[in-house]
Amino acid sequence: MTHGGPTLTDLRAAADTLRSWIGEADRVLIGAGAGLSVAAGYDYADTRRFAELFPALHRLGLRARYQLIGLRLPPDLLWGYWSVHVTDIRFGPGPHPVYRGLRDLVGDRHHFVMTSNVDALFSRNGFDAGRIFTPQGDYGRYQCERPCARDTWPSKPIIDAALAAYDPATGRVTDPAAIPACPNCGGEVFLNVHKGPEYIPDPYLPAGRRLQAWLDDGPADERLLVLDIGSGYNTPTVVRLPMERIARSRAHGRLLRVNPVQPEVPALPGGRALGIAAGAGDLLAAVAGH
**Three state DSSP letters for the chain:** CCECCCEECCHHHHHHHHHHHHHHCCEEEEEECHHHHHHCCCCCCCHHHHHHHCHHHHHCCCCCHHHHCCCCCCHHHHHHHHHHHHHHHCCCCCCCHHHHHHHHHHCCCEEEEEECCCCCCCHHHCCCHHHEECCCEEEEEEEECCCCCCCEEECHHHHHHHHHCEECCCCEECCHHHCCCCCCCCCCEEEEECCCCCCCCHHHHHHHHHHHHHHHHCCCCCCEEEEEECCCCCCCCCCHHHHHHHHHHCCCCEEEEECCCCCCCECCHHHCEEEECCCHHHHHHHHCCC
Q: Could you give phi then psi for residue 6, rounded to 5 degrees?
A: -75, 160
Closest by CA position to 158, among listed 119, 204, 191, 202: 191
Closest by CA position to 120, among listed 164, 146, 156: 156
**What pLDDT does 195 receive?**
94
As its CATH architecture, domain 47-92+138-193 has 2-Layer Sandwich (3.30)
d(C-alpha 250, C-alpha 18), whole Å:
19
**What pLDDT does 290 receive?**
59
Write the pLDDT tens digit of every residue in 262-280: 999 999 999 999 999 999 9
Q: In which residue ranges of the chain is CATH 3.40.50.1220 found?
A: 7-39+95-137+202-287
Q: Which of 94-103, 143-152, 234-243 has the lowest mean pLDDT?
A: 94-103
**What pLDDT does 1 receive?**
40
d(C-alpha 226, C-alpha 215), whole Å:
11
Tell me the CATH class for 7-39+95-137+202-287.
alpha beta
Q: Are strands 137-144 and 152-154 parallel, antiparallel or unpaired?
A: antiparallel
Percentage above 70 pLDDT, the chain: 99
Write the pLDDT tens digit of every residue in 77-96: 999 999 999 999 999 877 89
Write the pLDDT tens digit of every residue in 167-226: 999 999 999 999 999 999 999 999 999 999 999 999 999 999 999 999 999 888 999 999
d(C-alpha 11, C-alpha 282), whole Å:
8
d(C-alpha 270, C-alpha 262), whole Å:
22
Q: Could you give phi then psi for residue 82, rounded to 5 degrees?
A: -70, -30
Q: In which residue ranges of the chain is CATH 3.30.1600 found?
A: 47-92+138-193
Q: Could you give phi then psi for residue 193, rounded to 5 degrees?
A: -130, 155
